[in-house]
Homo-oligomer: A and B are copies of this chain.
Amino acid sequence: MKEKPPAALVDFCNSPAANMHQLPLPAVRLKGGFWLGWLERIQQVTLPAQYRLLEETGRLENFRRAAGSPTFPGGSFQGYYFNDSDVYKWLEAAAWGLALADPAPAKELAGQVRQVVKWIAAAQSSDGYLDTYYAGTRAGQRWSNLRDMHEMYCAGHLIQAAVALQRSTGSRALMRVATRFADHIHQVFGPGKRAGICGHPEIEVALVELYRQTRRRTYLELAQHFIDQRGHGLLGGRAYYLDRLPLRDLERLEGHAVRAMYLCAAAADVYAETREPALRQALERLWQAMIATQVYVNGGLGARHEGEAFGAAYELPNERSYAESCAAIGGVMWANRMLVWQDHSPAARAGYADALEWMLYNAVLPGMGLDGQSYFYTNPLADAGGYDGAGWHRRQPWYDCACCPTNLVRFLASLPAYFYSTSAEGLWVHLYGQGEAEVNLPGGLGPSMKVRQETRYPWDGRVRLEVQPAEDLVGPYSIFLRLPGWLRAGDIRLDLNGRAWEADLQPGTYVELRRTWQPGDVVDLELGMPPYWLESHPYAVENSGRVALGRGPLLYCLEAVDQGDWSAWPGARLQDVAVNAAVLPAVQDAPGLLGGVTTLRMPGTVEPPHPAWQGRLYRHVPAGADPDRSSLITLTAIPYYAWANRAPAAAPHHWAMQVWLKKER
């Protein structure tokens, strides 16, 4: 591993407003435990399957055709005009996949990467422009419709793939292509040059990272220029494009949720480099407003189907949520870039880390099926299960607009990068999971320490951290452990080498262990994981009178298939179930279920609608309550990320799912 170049996912090492930076991705190994299965599937199933789909759907052929050497001569551009981005996102995923690979990278994947890079390079125009939709006869129309045609969006993903490849493998082959395109864009656009911004933010975040990789300040300035230009009507002034108001003037997020997240992530990146107070204030204000009024209980973002957009405050329909998988990924990207800012209180920092972890488990992870090759585009929080003509919601192997599948794999392949940061004070542990890391503390030469996590997290809150400082590591260093906000005060225990660590252990902050670390030091952290009931703000009208269920960092849900024999309750559906929020569910491991999950079991009732409702939607309020016709039921909840992974053959209601559960009357 020492031979590998540093490969931070986002490189804050020289960012003046950041005082911590991520460990290089190959320095973190998630061995065993919850995440191993996901990362293995990505390498063994997802990346090969998506490569085949890129080929089958003409996305790779588009590059060969643009280069003048199509495999199937005579064809034309295939698919959506933004399909190049899927190739770039796969490539970024493959780059991180190569870094993850242990032992040596899979030969086949490495070969595919080399080949795809060659096809991309060959498709580039002599002036640096690169977009296979605008190859050939359409070349004269380049940049003619910045609002809709995603040319800079694709360029952004090209740049991110190039940066990833260099950081992961050291190869600069794609970086040459990306910088040539970036330089071409810089020649065309910018202050004093052509006015214009891309309808879909993405190039901004890429340009900042290209600046960090190359230290060429023009890229950062261009990113800032694109952000500054937005909101002044270049895109028709429409909220959909985040063009109604400048970002610095917005009070609440609006418009297309993925675009909003990418724009905010980019603005956070720019702030990290420029320290512009107005930008930070705007981002913190928008983040707070989002968390306080616009986020789903699972961390999902974007309530509206129309415009794939944020809704108004408290507009959070469950079955009709949009909550695009890409928006959740964008939310994690943004949180990750706010987390590192200096001048944060530990609690403020932990707030971003809490959101990051919650979105990761409960909004990103549901986007990918347990088979590693099926994906959600939208993520409902309830499913009628096929009743009443409402089609049940299942993951699909691909989409014509394949942004989510390729985004999910590129995100999950980079997951190890999110676990740890270092700062001048020492090591920060943001996420818990079985595995180990080699840590370069700032100022050190070579690995300063190894840390190893032994844990069944997220199924169990006990985390053992074994610390092996390098021989040359001198002086005291701190290890900061995140105490998640979902904890209850009093449910935290922290031991060093078997003896209680003296500290005020509060949820929602980091606890600092500062000492001169000795080989073999063992930290035992115990995060209490009783299940808990959640309720929502009274203005979120769909959740009124309902509760949701969580345990540790996981949101739970009910799927009808787990609730026993529905024939015992004629006419009943999952919607008819009610729970008693005064009773805490029992925790029960189910190793054979859904790849191994911990279930929560609780008593409840089931009561189909009173027969008076037959054929009607409204009625006069009756003088007395309807007679109680409820039956007792034992309910089994599963983690929300794992829903819709079974195909029950029985009646349609076996497909139903609910996050928000009625409280018993």
Which residue from B320, B535, B576, B618 sits with its C-beta under 8 Å from A621? B535
Task: Give Cα distance in the complex from A389 to B244, angstroms.
Answer: 13
Among listed A38-46, A140-148, A311-319, interface-contacting one: A311-319
Task: Give Cα distance in the complex from A537 to B610, angstroms.
Answer: 9
Chain B, residue nearest A292 (CB): B615
Chain B, residue nearest A541 (CB): B542
Chain B, residue nearest A542 (CB): B541
Which residue from B304, B319, B384 sits with its C-beta under 8 Å from A305? B304
Chain B, residue nearest A608 (CB): B538
Asked if A545 contacts B544 (CB within 8 A), the reply is yes
Chain B residues near A254 (CB-CB < 8 A): 389
Q: Does A252 contact B (CB under 8 A)?
A: yes
Chain B residues near A319 (CB-CB < 8 A): 312, 315, 541
Chain B residues near A619 (CB-CB < 8 A): 534-535
Chain B, residue nearest A295 (CB): B617
Asked if A251 contacts B389 (CB within 8 A), the reply is yes
- Least Cβ distance of A581 to chain B in Å? 5
Asked if A390 contacts B534 (CB within 8 A), the reply is no
Task: Give Cα distance in the complex from A121 to B581, angstroms.
Answer: 71
Q: Mark A258-298, 1 if CB is under 8 A from B, else 0.
A: 00000000000000000000000000000010011111010
Which residue from B539, B547, B620 sits with its C-beta under 8 Å from A575? B539
Evaluate whether A317 and B317 lie within 8 angstroms (CB atoms) in the complex, with A534-B621, A539-B609 already known.
Answer: yes
- Least Cβ distance of A659 to chain B in Å? 11
Q: Mark A552-593, 1 if CB is under 8 A from B, else 0.
A: 000000000000000000000001100001000000000000
Asked if B304 contacts A315 (CB within 8 A), the reply is no
Give the bracket for the number of chain A residues in contact with chain B: 35 or more
Task: Give Cα distance in the complex from A384 to B538, angstroms.
Answer: 13
Chain B residues near A399 (CB-CB < 8 A): none
- Least Cβ distance of A289 to chain B in Å? 8
Q: Does A306 contact B (CB under 8 A)?
A: yes
Chain B residues near A133 (CB-CB < 8 A): none
Task: Give Cα distance in the complex from A534 to B390, angstroms.
Answer: 26
Asked if A534 contacts B387 (CB within 8 A), the reply is no
Asked if A317 contacts B318 (CB within 8 A), the reply is no
Which A503-560 residues sit within 8 Å CB-CB of chain B? 532-542, 544-548
Which residue from B251, B252, B389, B613 sits with its C-beta under 8 Å from A313? B389
Interface residue ranges, A against B (CB under 8 Å): 251-252, 254, 288, 291-295, 297, 304-306, 311-315, 317-320, 384, 387-390, 488, 532-542, 544-548, 575-576, 581, 609, 613, 615-621, 662
30 A-B Cβ contacts within 8 A? A251-B389, A252-B389, A254-B389, A288-B615, A291-B617, A292-B615, A292-B617, A293-B617, A294-B617, A305-B305, A311-B320, A312-B384, A312-B390, A313-B387, A314-B617, A315-B320, A315-B390, A488-B620, A532-B620, A534-B620, A535-B618, A537-B609, A537-B618, A538-B609, A538-B613, A539-B575, A541-B542, A542-B542, A545-B545, A547-B621
Which 10 pairs between the two chains have the least Cβ-Cβ distance? A313-B388, A312-B390, A533-B621, A306-B306, A305-B306, A252-B389, A545-B545, A292-B615, A535-B621, A541-B542
